Amino acid sequence: MADNLDYAINSIVYRSDSLDVQEILDPSFRQYFDNDQAQVQIIDRNGMVIFDSLGVLYTEEIVYPDITEARSGNRGVWRGNVDYTDKKVMAMSTPINNSTNQNIGILRMVISMDRLDTLIIRAIAMFIMIGIATVLVALFISLYFAKGIVDPLKEVNDVAMKIADGQLSVRSDVKTNDEIEQVSKSINHMADELIKRDQVKNDFISSVSHELRTPLTSIKGWAITIQSAGEMSKELSDEGLNIIVSETDRLSDMVEELLDFSRFASGKATLQKEEIDAASFLGEVVRQMRARINREGHVFSVDISEDMEGMTVDKDRIRQVLINLFDNAIKFTEEPGVISLYARRNKMNQIVVNIRDTGIGIPDDDIKRVKEKFYKGSLGKAHTGLGLSISDEIVSLHGGELIIDSNMGKGTTVTVILPAVPKEE
């Protein structure tokens, strides 16, 4: 409607400097309002209607707010009722200026609000349909993507619940190339690790049962022999009692090892630290182990620096670590072999203790796992598979490090690194 007003105004200004009804009735002018289904009025400067497209006759000046606004040089809009129809209308008036920009009248277009309401309703209906279609499309897309997320998550959750229920052979087969697939792979890896740990646990229980049964069998056998024997030589009796004592000590060591494992696993292990002289302490351990190493037919080489000064440790726990390392060295070194201890203080204020042997060494496949709990290695000489694991825990609690280096057929070196007391300047 506003565009037609502009076109009509331009045509009138272009055609004449005065309002000529004949020109207004010209078909080339009527094109601006015929197709708009609007009532078009031309009003002169006196407010008289000189043309009405509907043929409505006016005998006096017409006054409406839109006409008043147009007379002041602005475009006016008015909504209301007129005398010749009971329908509500909207009128738009604009001033008509000639080629010298003088006002010569007013062009007014009137349109029924019914038609406008119909257009508004259609527009609203169209927007509603577009909105509904948008919502439906968005819902469809959301459901599609939700299904692509929810279904894999449900499958992963089901697998996780089955694994938690003890069905360790169940696996997730989600292939989504995203984070959900990574979670699926992690759950599968967790199940594999649980199977391995379960197998290690079963092997451990079987091994401990066997290790406990062997000394118990010897103890019981000799106890029955001594009990049932009438006359027994002192030599045979002493031999039986020595075996009973030896196997009892072995049982005690295994039980103590299991108790240590339980303490460390539950986080209840505590350290009773005190400052001690490193060289003196290592000398005590050497004296404690020398007789046994020599008895096993090995050469014991010792090199301890005297200027290591102090270290703050739980000496009983560190003694336990060193004795365990010497036990392993003896166990895995065929006689005659060489077992050595080398101790120094390095420039980083650390006490470094090396225990070396010329034994059979540790296979490459075992070296990475020898400090794992219950791992007994492929050589099968470990009792419970806890010794090195506990030793590593003890050293770590001291803020130190336990390092194992080995070559098959040449021997093994175990390095224990512990913090030293800083030297006084």
For the cut 80, the answer to whether the pLDDT of residue 421 exceeds it is yes
Q: Give the residue among 38, 53, 56, 55 at the shortest CA–CA distance from 116.
A: 38
Q: Give the residue among 362, 300, 295 at the shortest CA–CA distance from 337.
A: 300
Lowest mean pLDDT, pick from 8-12, 72-76, 151-155: 8-12
Percent of the chain whose predicted confidence (pLDDT) is above 70: 84
Q: What is the pLDDT of residues 173-228, one digit of tens each?
A: 777 777 778 888 888 888 888 888 777 777 767 767 766 777 788 788 878 877 77
Residue-range domain boundaries for the chain: 2-119, 179-266, 274-419
H helix runs in 16-105, sequence order: 21-24, 27-34, 65-71
Q: How far apart are CA 191 and CA 159, in angstroms?
A: 10
- In this structure, what token pair is assigned to residue 386? 């806890």
Instruction: Write down the pTM of the prediction.
Output: 0.51
| pLDDT value of position 14 | 43
What CATH number was assigned to the domain covering residues 179-266?
1.10.287.130
| pLDDT value of position 133 | 92
User: In which band, very low, low, confident or very high, does the pLDDT at 13 lie, cut at 50, 70 and 90?
Assistant: very low
Position 124, amino acid: I
Position 320, amino acid: Q
What CATH number was assigned to the domain covering residues 274-419?
3.30.565.10
Average pLDDT over residues 314-324: 89
Lowest mean pLDDT, pick from 239-248, 364-373, 401-410: 364-373
Percent of the chain whose predicted confidence (pLDDT) is above 90: 14
Q: Give φ, ψ of 271 to 5 degrees.
A: -110, 135
Look at the domain 2-119 and name its fold: Beta-Lactamase (3.30.450)
Q: How far apart are CA 268 and CA 313, in angstroms?
A: 18
Strand partners, 405: 413
Average per-residue pLDDT for the chain:
80
Sign of CA dihedral 115, 117, 120, 122: negative
DSSP label at residue 100? T
Residue with tokens 């499309």: 137
For the cut 60, the answer to whether the pLDDT of residue 86 exceeds it is yes
DSSP label at residue 105? E
Longest dimension (CA), the chain: 158
List, in sequence order, every beta strand (DSSP E) within 285-364.
299-304, 310-313, 338-345, 350-357
For the cut 60, the answer to whether the pLDDT of residue 387 exceeds it is yes
H helix runs in 341-397, sequence order: 364-367, 387-397
For the cut 90, the answer to whether the pLDDT of residue 415 exceeds it is yes
